[in-house]
């Protein structure tokens, strides 16, 4: 999801190269830019990247291992978000 968000920000000329913001801030800026183009994400879609990013950090840095149900939930919503972003470009 981070790669898609960064690529979309690049396509929309959102200060990618000098950007040192965390993922949640970058995603929020992307949603604002998409809404300016007439593309809106649901309230849930706008809120999920923050918690997903924290889960990602727990998995990568904290050794957390999600169960199948948790993994399926994350994969489903990430696919939904990525598809929405790519359609908007």
d(CA 38, CA 21): 24
Helix (H, G, I), strand (E, B) or coil at 14: coil
Per-residue tokens: 58: 């727990």
Regarding pTM above 0.85, the answer is no
Tens of pLDDT along 27-77? 999 999 999 989 888 888 888 888 888 888 899 999 999 899 988 988 998
Between the alpha carbon of residue 3 and those of residues 7, 16, 68, the distances in Å are: 6, 12, 24
């Amino acid at each position: 999801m981070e790669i898609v968000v960064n690529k979309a920000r690049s396509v929309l000329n959102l200060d990618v190269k000098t950007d040192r913001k965390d993922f949640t801030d970058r995603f929020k800026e992307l949603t604002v830019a998409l809404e300016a183009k007439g593309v809106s994400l649901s309230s849930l879609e706008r809120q999920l990247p923050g918690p997903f990013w924290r889960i990602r950090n727990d998995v990568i840095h904290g050794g957390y291992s999600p169960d199948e149900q948790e993994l399926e939930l994350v994969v489903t919503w990430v696919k939904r978000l990525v598809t929405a972003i790519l359609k908007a470009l």
